[in-house]
Structure formats: C-alpha cells, structure tokens
Amino acid sequence: MQKTTMLKKEQAMANKKWYIIDATDLVLGRLSTNVADLLRGKNKTSFTPNVDCGDYVVIINTDKIKLTGNKLENENKYNHSGYIGGLRVRSYRTMKEKYSDELVRNAIKNMLPKNKLSNQIITKLHLYKNDAHNHQAQKPIEYKVTN
C-alpha cells in the first residue's frame, strides 16, 4: 500500500515550470479553468491543497479572446469602490476592447479558492495584450488548451 505524501513549501518551490498560452480564438471560460488548474498545481501528482505547488503561466494575445453567446451585448461587469456612488458598470464589449487583461485576470481569479493562498497564486499569472512579453529567459513551455 502506497502512502500519500504531503508537500512542504520548500519541496513545492523546487519544481516550478513556466507555461505560455496563446489566447487567440480561445473561449474565456475554457481558458480560465485550464489556467486555474495550472496555477494551482492540480495537473501534478504531488498536488497539495494547502501549499502553493502550481506553475507560472504567461498568457499572450488576451485582446483576441472569444466570448460565447450574447455576452458582448447583454452582460455587464460590475465593480464598486466602496464609496457612495462608486458603482462602475462596463459592458463585456468595452472590457474586451480596452481591458482584456483585466477581464481574463478576473475570470481566472474567480475560479481559484477564496482564501489567502489565492492571492499568492494569482501573482504567478502574467498577462499581455499582444504577443510581446519579457519572459524569454525563463524558457516557457507552450501549453495547448483543450476545447
């Protein structure tokens, strides 16, 4: 009988990889679930829920992402500053055209667990609106998102 191993923080830091994903013509929800699993480390056999054992992810071309259905016309993104009259409403079309990196980051962050560890995990996500990025020195591995 094999014993279940729980990783310690030092062991998890040793084997982190860098992945690069081209978001051109990918559906936002499908991309978000795959990236959340990579960031969290659920693709590894040594997954430990209370330790940050995930990998780094670089997403390029976030402005070319797809949204299915009528989300561009019918749905809005709400944000509140906490002050009186601080409600900001932006349509998904505006978010896609001007703030595509924020749209992708929010979708991925909402798929992570709601605890202190998720703030640490989301810092390993790097988003770029076009295909230029400054992570060539890390030699990221190209990752294909399954549809």
Q: Which residues of the chain have pLDDT under 50?
A: none
Residue 5's φ and ψ, nearest 5 degrees, are -105, 140
Residue 58 lies in a domain: yes
- Residue 2's pLDDT is 73
63 in any annotated domain: yes
Q: What is the pLDDT of residue 77?
A: 94
Instruction: State the pLDDT at residue 3.
Output: 79
- Which structural domain range is residue 127 located in? 17-68+99-142
114: closest CA among 36, 35, 7, 58?
36
DSSP 8-class letter at 27? B
Does residue 28 lie within any of the structural domains? yes
Sheet holding 18-22, edge to edge: 125-127, 56-60, 18-22, 141-142
Count the domains in the chain: 1
The confidence score (pLDDT) of residue 133 equals 94
Question: Hey, what are 80's tokens?
Answer: 């509140």
pLDDT at 7: 83
Q: Is 121 part of a structural domain of the chain?
A: yes
Report the SS3 class of residue 140. coil
The predicted pLDDT at position 147 comes to 67
The pTM of the full predicted model, rounded to 2 decimals, is: 0.91
Q: Domain containing 135 — which CATH number? A: 3.90.1180.10
